[in-house]
Chain A
């Protein structure tokens, strides 16, 4: 997929000026609210018309003010998943799912109802009315409806913002699964760095209607570490939980980790750990209250605002810790040096429980 945008759009005092080329199958558009993300979606989908400029998808113009091309939204074959499911209330789940499929030319029907229903586990919902579905079910149907319209490109405009945390990660895994299964290129729009990292590997950062960065998601997350109040979020996949001494011990690719014992927990899941919650020691501290102490090797050191990020390798696992530059001097941190990382058991936060038979959202390895 290659999307070329060179457009100008004015709304009162706000103007959106874009000049960029997006390539690849999974790209994110990141930015705070009011940065122009949703406007970009509307321009690409044809729901808004740029004041001037051009939009090309795979070389073919969708809009070009020069040659007066403006393909209407219904002929662009670009699907949108909105923040709200926006299901048609007068149709049942099946009617909603088939709405786009029926309007898709037979030669473009690559994805059919049966395979979609299987991938998104929609079979039990088909005959239901859309008004008695739960929030997560609605969003799943909305995703299915858009995917089944067999678009060339999928635009996801903050599709997770209206969901609570538990559902968010469930829907992320559904989104990743459908896009992978059906080889659907997508643009994922969000103001959440965490969602961005789970969904995409490249990202375009917008601010004030301008592109401020076009980079990999991992690099953007590192650059933002020093600015973000939560620091850099390490994503850890923990497995094989066992209870030991009143705590839960999980297996992680970088070693065993101790977490507080929760109530009726699943045996594994995806956890987050802020770069601010890792304390580094130059030598092995004899006794500390933190329950986790990992011997690590420094892989890289990078600057982020007034902070330094330290990329650590512990076994097969990677972690990023955040320190002030003075601490780096005291600890004599250089790539290759050995450090001890202490992490409190309570510093981990569970993000997602894997559903039976469903893979966790894949995390990109740091680096």
Chain B
């Protein structure tokens, strides 16, 4: 097994960091989106549903390209961020955004599965006992969604570790700056003599994925016991 250079270590760390930050940032939005899709009765619910789920079926490259336009110097979000002195494109923050957008539907789906299994009578009981809608959301729906939140976060985190298509477009492939594990593997795979390094990084990917899955199992079992 070849020994990793600082560039590989930083790719591994960056992958973990990008995926973690993207997951944590998405969590509150994912929870709210799942709530509105599960319990909301409003016009445009279908539109929200489609919008949330679109990245699931859209090619990541398309998402990356659209983000590039949005975050670019002429995009409205890019302009706003640039005027705040916070350029995003081709930094690790762009990778976070790409990862968040691509993984978001997975998170929302997992949270929704948990939310939709909540007995609606519990929500009625909570309201009749004096809890307003927000109180009910925080005191009943949130704690009873714990399993879905954990599952959704882990799923999104694992998916984020492998994000490639959208990331390479908005963040580039700059070793030590925006190069994550998949991007590094792509580099090695396309350069002569890079196979051992590519394989070693594949191994790291496999180890991380297995670790996330085991953690999911473990937490899932512990939360079931709490129920």
A73 at the interface (CB under 8 A from B): yes
Contact string against A for B residues 103-134, beta-carbon threshold 8 Å, 1 for contact and 0 otherwise: 00000000000000001011011111111100
How many Å lie between the Cα of A79 and that of B128 in the bound state? 6
- Nearest residue (CB) in A for B132 is A74
Residues of B near A99 (CB, < 8 A) are 126, 129, 131, 139
How many Å lie between the Cα of A73 and that of B125 in the bound state? 10
Q: Contact partner of A80 among B125, B139, B143, B226, CB < 8 A?
A: B125
Residues of A near B195 (CB, < 8 A) are none
From B122, B125, B131, B146, name the one whose CB has the most chain A CB atoms within 10 angstroms: B125
Given contacts A47-B124, A86-B119, are A103 and B227 in contact (CB under 8 A)?
Answer: no
B128 touches A80 (CB 8 A): yes
Residues of B near A149 (CB, < 8 A) are 128-130
How many Å lie between the Cα of A73 and that of B135 in the bound state? 13
A153 CB, nearest partner CB in chain B, Å = 11
Q: Contact partner of A100 among B119, B121, B129, B140, CB < 8 A?
A: B129
- Nearest residue (CB) in A for B227 is A89
Contact string against B for A residues 308-338, beta-carbon threshold 8 Å, 1 for contact and 0 otherwise: 0000000000000000000000000000000
**A-B pairs with beta carbons under 8 A, tally:** 67
A78 at the interface (CB under 8 A from B): yes
For chain B, residues 124 to 178, give those with C-beta under 8 angstroms from any C-beta of chain A: 124-132, 135, 139-140, 143-144, 146
Residues of A near B121 (CB, < 8 A) are 82, 84, 86
A37 at the interface (CB under 8 A from B): no
B125 touches A86 (CB 8 A): yes
How many Å lie between the Cα of A131 and that of B227 in the bound state? 8
A145 at the interface (CB under 8 A from B): yes
For chain A, residues 243 to 275, give those with C-beta under 8 angstroms from any C-beta of chain B: none
B144 touches A90 (CB 8 A): yes
Given contacts A89-B227, A131-B227, are A79 and B129 in contact (CB under 8 A)?
Answer: yes
Residues of A near B143 (CB, < 8 A) are 90
How many Å lie between the Cα of A100 and that of B129 in the bound state? 5
Residues of B near A167 (CB, < 8 A) are none
How many Å lie between the Cα of A140 and that of B216 in the bound state? 37
Residues of A near B226 (CB, < 8 A) are 90
Given contacts A90-B143, A103-B135, are A145 and B128 in contact (CB under 8 A)?
Answer: no
A73 touches B127 (CB 8 A): yes
A45 at the interface (CB under 8 A from B): yes
B123 CB, nearest partner CB in chain A, Å = 9
- Nearest residue (CB) in B for A149 is B129
A72 touches B128 (CB 8 A): no
How many Å lie between the Cα of A149 and that of B130 in the bound state? 8
Given contacts A72-B132, A103-B135, are A88 and B140 in contact (CB under 8 A)?
Answer: yes
How many Å lie between the Cα of A45 and that of B146 in the bound state? 29
How many Å lie between the Cα of A46 and that of B130 in the bound state? 12
A194 at the interface (CB under 8 A from B): no
Residues of A near B140 (CB, < 8 A) are 88, 90
A126 CB, nearest partner CB in chain B, Å = 18
A297 at the interface (CB under 8 A from B): no
B126 touches A89 (CB 8 A): no
Given contacts A86-B119, A86-B121, are A74 and B144 in contact (CB under 8 A)?
Answer: no
B144 touches A145 (CB 8 A): no
How many Å lie between the Cα of A66 and that of B201 in the bound state? 69
A74 touches B227 (CB 8 A): no
A146 at the interface (CB under 8 A from B): yes
From B128, B135, B140, name the one whose CB has the most chain A CB atoms within 10 angstroms: B128
A104 at the interface (CB under 8 A from B): yes
From B127, B132, B144, B227, name the one whose CB has the most chain A CB atoms within 10 angstroms: B127
From A45, A73, A100, A149, name the one whose CB has the most chain B CB atoms within 10 angstroms: A73
Residues of A near B127 (CB, < 8 A) are 46-47, 72-74
A105 CB, nearest partner CB in chain B, Å = 9
Q: Contact partner of B129 among A46, A90, A103, CB < 8 A?
A: A103
How many Å lie between the Cα of A79 and that of B129 in the bound state? 7
Can you list 13 A-B contacts (CB < 8 A)?
A47-B124, A47-B127, A74-B129, A74-B130, A74-B132, A78-B128, A80-B124, A80-B125, A86-B119, A88-B125, A99-B131, A145-B125, A146-B128
16 new A-B contacts, CB < 8 A, other than A74-B131, A80-B128, A99-B139, are A45-B124, A73-B127, A74-B135, A80-B125, A82-B125, A84-B121, A86-B119, A86-B121, A88-B122, A88-B140, A90-B226, A99-B129, A145-B125, A146-B128, A146-B129, A149-B128
Show the binding face of B for A, using Cβ within 8 Å.
119, 121-122, 124-132, 135, 139-140, 143-144, 146, 226-227
Closest 7 pairs between A and B when the two form their complex, measured CB to CB: A103-B130, A100-B129, A73-B127, A86-B121, A90-B143, A80-B128, A86-B125
